[in-house]
Amino acid sequence: MNFAAIFKRFLVVILAGLALTACATQKKSTGQMQGDVYTGSDTVEYLATGVKDRVFFATNKSTLTTASRDTLRKQAAWMRAKGKSLSFTIEGHADERGTREYNLALGERRANAVKDYLMTYGISGSRLSVISYGKERPVNSGSNPLAWSQNRRSVTVKAN
C-alpha cells in the first residue's frame, strides 16, 4: 500500500470518529421552532398539572401566537378555579440582542399583552401585576436562535 492510500484511510477513520463524538455529545432538545417562535416544552414549568406557566414570542414582537393564546386560556381557567384569593405576577423577558432599555420596554409590552388577554377571560386586573426583566434573566444563556427563542417569553408566577 502506498502512503496516499494509508493517509486516506487514516483521515476517514479520524473524521468518522469526530462525527460520532459530535453526535454522542450533542444535547437533545424536545423543543421545536415554528418560524422564529420556540414551541417546545423542555424549559416550561407548570402552574399546575398540564397548565404551562409561560408563553413565547417572535423576535421584537409582543403579539400573542395561537399557541400562546391557548396556554393563556388554560391559565385563566386555572386562575378562576383557584378563586380570587391568589394574585399573580407576569414577568416579561427578552433575548440578549438589543439595548437594555429596548429589552425592558419589550418585556413590559409582552407582560402587558399577557395581562390584557387574561383579563378578557375574566381574571381581575387587580390580581395581576406586571414586571419586565428585559434580557437580565435568560432561561438559556446560549447565543443562538434556539436560546433566543426560549428567552423571548412571558412567565406567570404566583405573587408572594
The pLDDT of residue 20 is above 60? no
Q: DSSP strand E in the chain: where? A: 33-34, 37-38, 46-48, 51-52, 54-56, 88-93, 128-134, 153-158
Residue 92: per-residue pLDDT? 98
Residue 124: per-residue pLDDT? 95
The pLDDT of residue 130 is above 90? yes
Residue 120: per-residue pLDDT? 97
Is 13 in contact with 30 (CB distance < 8 Å)? no
Distance, in Å, from the CA atom of 95 to the CA atom of 81, rounded to the nearest integer, reads: 33
**Phi and psi for 51 in degrees, rounded to 5?**
-115, 110
Residue 33: per-residue pLDDT? 56
* Domains, the chain, with CATH or none: 31-158 (3.30.1330.60)
Distant-in-sequence, close-in-space partners of 107: CB < 8 Å, separation ≥ 6? 91, 92, 93, 94, 132, 133, 134, 154
**Mean of pLDDT values over 92-116:** 97
pLDDT in tens, 55-69: 999 999 999 999 999
Q: How far is CA 142 from the centre of its chain?
A: 12
The pLDDT of residue 30 is above 90? no
pLDDT in tens, 32-84: 556 655 555 555 677 777 789 999 999 999 999 999 999 999 999 999 988 78
Interior angle at CA 113, CA 94 and CA 154, nearest 5 = 40
- What's the mean pLDDT when you consider all of the chain? 83
